[in-house]
Structure 1
């Protein structure tokens, strides 16, 4: 079974306004509401690709209820912990002459709530896949991902981590199956500017030396790189297409990689699936569908 964890899920309210002006009444010309958060994005794309999974995390209030309802509507099982204080956040994304965002705070997660999460994680079985993705709310310990991996280290799980800086670096001694920084985040970890794929490979291998098994690096319009635990290196240019929505593209890459690996056991096929799934989401107003991913796979065979 596949599980994702999203510590601070959201309702993403995306509005389009022509010529937005501050201090004035502005009217929307288009509106979209969907459940958000990196782990949730992974769950939705996995489901689109035909992989049942369970989304774990925390929810509160009427917004939390709506997040769960929308996930169930999309076929994703939501098994969130109900938090008593506060409400799940609403993130407003304004599309106009410029794009702006206002992100909500989220509920007050207590130690008792975290304990309930551990109880759910204790039910995972050997061979299960766990995805830890996104930032940690300020009310939670910054060591949360590391704490979870330490808690689960006796289980034979494949754990994927998509996080930044210390959240990511701290889990490396616990040998995550997959980590997915982008090239800028990779450079930040080592205090360098990364300019090409040779640099990406060099520093990805340094993360392997610290404990990571497979390192997948997204490079936006410059493509992607994968360095595997068995010594293989894969590089790809980015598929061509019109960028419509970069939100969720990295999460989609993680979902595609996992779907490809679980289907074939091949890192080469997982890499292809990851690159095309991430790009398919970037070329779509919403997250990638299976048909959109397959169309890119058929079109972009020369990239791999």
Structure 2
């Protein structure tokens, strides 16, 4: 089974304006949407489109949390959230008016007792289960939270996937995650110099592999992606043609496709192809990738 963890889920309230945003004045929306998300939840959503079951874990609170849980269940996702007594699941306001303005909520405080409940749930994971940890850690939790969870699972054969940045990513490498997915800019920040060629990216990825990562998947937006697999093979793939509509969730979609592809075939080349198709399908769509769009792009890669 695949388990995703979203520490700080959100309801994104997306407002579209027909004119530029005017601060200090009344702005009337031309349209609006509510999107239920968070990086781990995005991964679970795309896995569902691929026909792969997962369990979405995380923390929710208040009426907004209840709304988010109902909405995800209606989408066919399996959830096992931990309810918090205080606060509310955050609402992020995203104003699209030529350029995008965001106001992101803080989210509820996560007490130690809730973390212990999460650990108890993770204790049920079995050998070859997949645990996907994606995104930043809320300010109410220490930055060592990912390390804490992976240390608890160490030696049990659980395949960890980590999509995080800088120190948050580097500190989990000793626990030998199955997959890490920095983008090329994040990888440049880690090695502290700009990476401009494939050879430089491979060398930087090999450095992370030497520290413990089994597979390093580097996404490069319109330039495709590069995978250094655990056997030392380098796989390079381009990006299918299409108009980028929304890049939010594209990286999460790539993770979902890669994991699903590998579990389906055990073939890293196919995993990279499916991951690229999923990431591109989301980038070319208003929302997350759909099964139809994924299959359409997969045939072109």
TM-score by length of 1: 0.97
CA distance in 1, matches of 2:159, 2:292: 27
Contact 1:93 1:100 in 2 (8 A): yes
Contact 1:34 1:70 in 2 (8 A): no
Q: Does 1:2 align with 2:2?
A: yes
Instruction: Specify the alignment match of 2:246 in structure 1.
Output: 245
1:261-300 pair list within 5 angstroms: 261-300=262-301
CA distance in 1, matches of 2:195, 2:241: 23
CA distance in 1, matches of 2:197, 2:220: 9
Q: Does 1:110 align with 2:111?
A: yes
CA distance in 1, matches of 2:162, 2:260: 15
1:26-45 pair list within 5 angstroms: 26-45=27-46
Deviation at residue 154 of structure 1 after TM alignment: 2.4
TM-score by length of 2: 0.98
Q: Give structure 2 stretches of 5+ with no counterpart.
A: none
Contact 1:3 1:131 in 2 (8 A): yes
CA distance in 2, matches of 1:85, 1:188: 37
| Corresponding residue SS for 1:29 | strand
Instruction: Give the RMSD, CA atoms, in angstroms.
Output: 0.8
Deviation at residue 261 of structure 1 after TM alignment: 0.5
Q: Which moved more, 1:246-255 or 1:147-156?
A: 147-156
Instruction: Specify the alignment match of 1:186 in structure 2.
Output: 187
Structure 1 residue runs of 4+, over 2 Å off? none
Q: Which digits, 9 at most, give the CA deviation of each residue in 1:74-107, with x for residues without a partner?
A: 1111111011111111011111121111100000
Q: Which moved more, 1:235-244 or 1:202-211?
A: 235-244
Instruction: Specify the alignment match of 1:17 in structure 2.
Output: 17
1:1-304 pair list within 5 angstroms: 1-19=1-19, 20-300=21-301
Q: Give structure 1 stretches of 5+ with no counterpart.
A: none
Q: Which digits, 9 at most, give the CA deviation of each residue in 1:213-263, with x for residues without a partner?
A: 000011111111000001111111221101111000000000000111011
Deviation at residue 299 of structure 1 after TM alignment: 1.8
| Corresponding residue SS for 1:299 | coil
Q: Which digits, 9 at most, give the CA deviation of each residue in 1:146-173, with x for residues without a partner?
A: 1100000021111100001111100000
